[in-house]
Amino acid sequence: MPVTKSVRRLTAYTPGEQPKAKDVVKLNTNENPYPPSPQCAKVLADFDLDRLRRYPDPEFSALREAIAKMVHVKAANIFIGNGSDEILALSAKAFVENDEVIGSLDPSYSLYKTLAAIRDVEWRGFDDLCEVKGEKAKKLSLFLLTNPNAPTGVLKPCAEVAAFAKRFKGILIVDEAYADFARENCMSLAADEKNKNVIVMRTFSKSFSLAGLRVGYCVGPKPLIDALYKVKDSYNVDAIAQAVALAAVKDAKWMRANVKKVVATRRRFVAELEKRGWDVLPSESNFVFARPAHAKASEIFERLRGRHIYVRYFSGPKTVDRLRVTIGTDGQMATLLAALDEFDK
pLDDT at position 235 over 70: yes
Q: Which CATH architecture has domain 38-251?
A: 3-Layer(aba) Sandwich (3.40)
> Per DSSP, what are the bridge partners of residue 172?
143, 198
Tens digits of residue pLDDT in 23-76:
899 999 999 999 999 999 999 999 999 999 999 999 999 999 999 999 999 999
Burial of 64 (0-12, 13-18, 19+ CB in 10 A): buried
Q: Where are the beta strands (DSSP E) in the chain?
A: 25-26, 78-81, 101-105, 122-126, 140-146, 171-175, 198-203, 216-219, 279-280, 287-291, 309-310, 312-313, 323-326
Backbone φ and ψ of 144, nearest 5° = -110, 115
Cite the residue boundaries of each domain of the chain with CATH code 3.90.1150.10: 5-35+253-343
Mean pLDDT computed over 271-284: 98
Burial of 341 (0-12, 13-18, 19+ CB in 10 A): exposed
* Least confident window among 19-28, 68-77, 138-147, 329-338: 19-28
Give the global pTM. 0.96
Cite the residue boundaries of each domain of the chain with CATH code 3.40.640.10: 38-251
Options 3.30.420.10, 1.10.150.120, 3.90.1150.10, 3.40.50.300; CATH for 5-35+253-343 is: 3.90.1150.10
CA 161 → CA 11, 34, 185, 279, 286, distances in Å?
A: 30, 31, 10, 26, 21
Torsion (CA) 75, 84, 206, 184 in degrees, nearest 10: -60
pLDDT of residue 29: 97
Mean pLDDT computed over 199-207: 98
Tens digits of residue pLDDT in 110-135:
999 999 999 999 999 999 999 999 99
Category of 308 on φ-ψ map: left (φ > 0), alpha (ψ -120 to 50) or beta: left
Per DSSP, the residues of 95-160 read S--TT-EEEEESSS-THHHHHHHHHT-EEEEESSGGG-SGGGGTTEEEEEEESS-TTT-PPPPHHH
Contacts for 178 with CB less than 8 Å, ≥ 6 apart: 30, 146, 148, 150, 153, 206, 207, 284, 285, 286, 287
pLDDT of residue 92: 98
Distance from C-alpha of 244 to C-alpha of 214, rounded to nearest angstrom: 11
Amino acid in position 64 = R
pLDDT of residue 1: 57
- More confident of the two residues 13 and 180: 180
- pLDDT over 90, % of the chain: 93
